[in-house]
């Protein structure tokens, strides 16, 4: 029985990039031998075991055979005769197909170290084309290492295009798409994930609502970048500077989907694009099985980001309605997330990446004012039922009116 450190830990160790997980491959062992050594089985499709002390994953060396379209269409084979090189050959990228012996010796049969030095994301073999998830993984690695200068090798991009053309990407399972997308949103350059998918044609299959924004113009006086698709990615980039919360990042990305449906005779203006966006955001979230909390924030930002931008112009009653729609008294974190996404929208414009966004502080102050008005004090005065609700509303509106006056008086 021989075991080797493999995959991301080897890659990132050579790069000097931080990593937390370590995966191992075991060569020359059977499942029975692993159990006898105290390892705990966890794999369903192929034998994977947890180390009895460290809890790290140890997988038996394996090969695979394509039997059906999509991510799940594989038969895996494990045997004590399978070599380390055979196991590494089935991996996606050369930089992920390296191993390390217990003494630190590097095993690199497919040129992964050279590709690290050349900053290339290159597939190991033609077996890459059998698994459409690899298209998403390459795009995610491009997003992770873009700031280091990495790029997708031309031959790998060509292979990804052929996979899209062959319909492989259309067989991806929604949950797996979302898993890769959510991880990509938190990478250093999340916009590169979507640009890479767009370059190979996969974005039009996976996220056609976002693809449809590219080429749609906006008024240059408000959006110097003009293109709606570019604005969506700039907003995502701005959001990533502010947060690593995937709920905020997704909301920033999807907030303007309705602009793709603006009638041609109204362009470059986008009247009522907020209302047009809502069913599209719902459609994306439903199709990709995106969690409810992500969906709720994305809907809120798509619906009310314009109201947030115009916060100083809103009447107190409109501000209160906005806060009530966001359910800020029960869920104060949602307001913070909403304000981050709206700030990212304002800064997701060419040349305006550092623009101040005082609306966020104003709406946070409005939330604090509303929260100060509690029903207990009014109940002590004898209010109850409908009268209590009306009194709460009146006092909160009064607080918001006074806040608006304070902000007006403090403005030069």
> pLDDT, tens digit, for every residue of 105-143?
999 999 999 999 999 999 999 899 989 999 999 999 999
Which of the four pLDDT bands, split at 50, 70 and 90, describes residue 62? confident
Q: Identify which has the larger pLDDT, 411 or 313.
A: 313
Residue 71 lies in a domain: yes
Residue 247 forms part of a structural domain: no
CA 191: distance to chain centroid?
Answer: 10
Q: Is residue 312 part of a domain?
A: no
Query: Could you tell me the two tokens for 270?
Result: 């986008």
At 79, the pLDDT band (50, 70, 90 cuts) reads confident
At 411 the pLDDT is 55
Angle at 322 between CA 294 and CA 227, to 5 degrees: 60
pLDDT of residue 46: 66
Does this model's pTM top 0.85? My answer is yes
Query: Which domain, by its residues, includes 79?
Result: 1-110
Q: Which residues lie closer than 8 Å to 357 by C-beta, 6 or more apart?
A: 342, 343, 346, 347
pLDDT value for 45: 63
Predicted confidence (pLDDT) at residue 70 exceeds the cutoff of 60:
no
What confidence category does residue 412 fall into, taking pLDDT thresholds of 50, 70 and 90? very low
Residue 209 lies in a domain: no
Q: How many domains are contained in the chain?
A: 2
Is residue 298 in some structural domain?
no
CATH number at residue 22: 3.30.460.10
Pairing of strands 40-41, 48-50: antiparallel
3-state secondary structure of 182: helix
Q: What average pLDDT does the segment 93-104 reach? A: 95
Q: Is the peptide bond before 268 cis (omega within 30 degrees of 0)?
A: yes
Q: For residue 69, is pLDDT > 60? A: no
Tally helices (H) and strands (E) across the chain: 19, 11
Predicted confidence band of residue 271 (pLDDT cuts 50, 70, 90): very high
- At residue 409, the pLDDT reads 63
Per-residue pLDDT at 76 = 58
Q: How far is CA 221 from the centre of its chain?
A: 30
Look at residue 71 in the predicted model and tell me its pLDDT. 52
SS3 (DSSP) at 167: coil
Q: Please calculate the CA angle 75-76-78 and round it to the nearest 5 degrees.
A: 150
Residue where one domain finishes, among candidates 82, 110, 138: 110
């Amino acid at each position: 029985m021989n075991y080797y450190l493999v995959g991301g830990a080897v890659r990132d160790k050579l790069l000097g990039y931080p990593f937390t997980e370590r995966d191992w491959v075991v060569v020359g062992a059977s499942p029975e031998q692993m159990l006898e050594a105290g390892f705990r089985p966890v794999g369903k499709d192929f034998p994977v075991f947890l180390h009895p002390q460290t809890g790290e994953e140890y997988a038996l060396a394996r090969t695979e055979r394509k039997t059906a379209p999509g991510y799940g269409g594989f038969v895996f084979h494990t045997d004590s005769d399978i070599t380390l090189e055979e196991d590494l050959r089935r991996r996606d990228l050369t930089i992920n197909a390296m191993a390390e012996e217990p003494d630190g010796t590097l095993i690199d049969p497919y040129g992964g170290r050279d590709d690290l030095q050349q900053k290339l994301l290159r597939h190991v073999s033609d077996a890459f084309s059998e698994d459409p998830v690899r298209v998403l993984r390459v795009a995610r690695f491009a997003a992770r290492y873009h700031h280091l200068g990495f790029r997708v090798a031309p031959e790998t991009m060509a292979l990804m295009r052929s996979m899209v053309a062959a319909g492989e990407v259309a067989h991806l399972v929604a949950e797996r798409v979302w898993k890769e997308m959510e991880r990509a949103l938190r990478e250093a350059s999340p916009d590169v994930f979507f640009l890479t998918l767009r370059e190979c044609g996969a974005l039009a299959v996976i996220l056609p609502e976002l693809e449809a924004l590219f080429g749609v113009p906006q008024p240059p006086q408000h959006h110097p970048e003009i293109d709606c698709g570019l604005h969506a990615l700039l907003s995502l980039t701005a959001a990533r500077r502010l947060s690593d919360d995937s709920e905020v990042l997704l909301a920033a990305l999807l907030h303007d989907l309705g602009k793709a449906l603006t009638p041609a005779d109204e362009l470059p203006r986008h009247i009522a694009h907020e209302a047009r966006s809502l069913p599209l955001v719902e459609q994306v979230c439903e199709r990709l099985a995106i969690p409810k909390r992500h969906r709720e924030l994305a809907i809120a930002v798509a619906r009310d980001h314009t109201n947030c931008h115009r916060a100083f112009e809103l009447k107190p009653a409109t501000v209160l309605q906005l806060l009530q729609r966001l359910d800020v008294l029960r869920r104060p974190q949602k307001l913070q997330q909403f304000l981050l996404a709206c700030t990212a929208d304002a800064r997701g414009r060419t040349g305006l990446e550092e623009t101040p966004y005082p609306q966020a502080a104003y709406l946070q102050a409005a939330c604090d004012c509303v929260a100060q008005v509690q029903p207990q004090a009014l109940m002590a005065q004898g209010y109850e039922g409908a009268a209590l609700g009306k009194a709460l509303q009146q006092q909160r509106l009064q607080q918001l009116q006074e806040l608006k006056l304070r902000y007006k008086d403090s403005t030069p």
